[in-house]
Amino acid sequence: MTDLVKKLYKDKTLSKDEFIELINSNADTREELRALAEKIRIENYGNDIFIRGLIEFTNYCKQNCLYCGIRKDNKNCRRYRLSLDEIMSCCAEGYKLGFRTFVLQGGEDPYFTDERICEIIEAVKGKYPDCALTLSIGEKPRKSYQRYFDRGADRYLLRHETADKNHYEKLHPKSQKFENRIRCLYDLKEIGFQVGCGFMVGSPYQTVQNLADDLMFIKELNPQMVGIGPFIHHKDTEFKNASDGTLEQTLLMLSIIRIMIPKVLLPATTALATIHPRGRELGIQAGANVVMPNLSPVKVRGDYQLYDNKVCTGEESAQCKSCLEKRIESVGCKIAVSRGDSKNQ
Ligand code: SAH
């Protein structure tokens, strides 16, 4: 093993310059990182891959993230929201298929007041007390997070997007503050949620220094989950001509994060599956241990387009799951029917 890989393995962290050197490493070193990350995944989670049923319950959004296809100013986006009944049928379908975690993700939709979110939490947790409920609904005041937690929500996903304030400001309008994003993550942790942060690999203006900062931020926050996937351009955004993040760099970042936080939950994301036909499988072989297939009703799937050419928008959930099962088995793993809580506490 090269010295830097050994050092990361032993110390579980590096200096910023060392991270930069590692991110710039050659194919041999990248393969060392991949193999080590896969070994560490197996040591901590065996061959179990956790599945999360993703329910994209609204694509209305009051925010204007410059990279995102459901940003408020995108007039070409056909907007929808699911009713409580529709959300409950997604869960029923998911439960039958073996899902024991539901992820409610959406834009920041003012229609879904804290009351309405709490009503959903209560309904889902009341009917499925053996399941974990994850929210991914953006930036809220601390007291809202506290209400969701008190009603029974277990986890919260909020990608930090980039740990560099200047870079953050290039990806978001002025009204969206870097400090608030970070405040949200620390509030969520203090309240007691299992928290997931994360970022896009290859987002516009991203430098190797930014990626090193992302790694150092993740190390410091020490979250239970880290969601990363390649940036993919969307035709109706300012970044429509920007180049997409690469497979190689996304896999490299997955592996480094697995080695740095051995027990973290690491999804092989839909964005990764979108840029390569075997993206999810390669992600698992690089250290990922979670997949988040879509449980949203097929009629709205095509409308939740954060980026162009998103995969898996046509199939019914059952078809989706059996396809996934085969893919996961092809890399020597199996789907676990469990909540799949993080061992990183
Ligand atoms: N509104 C919620 C969740 C929905 S967006 C929130 O703010 O957390 C979920 C994630 O999709 C974002 O955090 C972002 O990292 C990712 N995303 C958005 N646009 C993308 C794009 N063009 N390419 C890749 N990922 C994107």
Looking at the CA of residue 158, tell me the nearest atom of ligand 1.
8
Name the closest-CA residue to atom 13, ligand 1.
159
- CB–CB of 259/36 below 8 Å? yes
| Per-residue model confidence (pLDDT) at position 318 | 87
- In single-letter form, the type of residue at position 314 comes to G
Query: Pocket residues for ligand 1 (CB within 6 Å)?
Result: 67-68, 105, 107-108, 136-138, 158-159, 161, 200, 229, 231-232, 234, 271, 306-307
Superfamily of domain 47-244+288-328: Aldolase class I (3.20.20.70)
SS (H, E, C) 249-309: HHHHHHHHHHHHCCCCECECCHHHHHHCCCHHHHHHHCCCCEECCECCCHHHHCCCCCCCC
Name the closest-CA residue to atom 24, ligand 1.
231
Kindly state the tokens that stand for 155.
């986890």
What phi, psi does 118 have (nearest 5°)? -65, -35
Nearest partner of 298 among 121, 56, 100, 75, judged by Cα: 56
Name the closest-CA residue to atom 18, ligand 1.
68
Domain residue limits, the chain? 47-244+288-328
| Per-residue model confidence (pLDDT) at position 345 | 79
- Helix ranges (H only) for 98-244 are 114-127, 142-151, 165-171, 178-191, 208-221
The structure's pTM equals 0.98
- CB–CB of 298/14 below 8 Å? no
CA of 68 to the centre of ligand 1 (A): 6
Per-block average pLDDT, block size 10, for the chain (345 residues)?
A: 97 98 98 98 98 98 98 98 98 97 98 98 98 98 98 98 98 98 98 98 98 98 98 98 98 98 98 98 98 95 96 90 96 96 90
| Rg (the chain; Cα; Å) | 19
pLDDT tens profile 306-344:
999 999 999 898 889 999 999 999 999 999 999 999 999
Q: Which one of 103, 111, 159, 274 would you pick to mutate in the ligand 1 pocket, going by the greatest count of ligand atoms within 8 A of its CB?
A: 159
- CB–CB of 112/106 below 8 Å? yes
Looking at the CA of residue 200, tell me the nearest atom of ligand 1.
15
CA–CA dist 310, 276 (Å, integer): 11
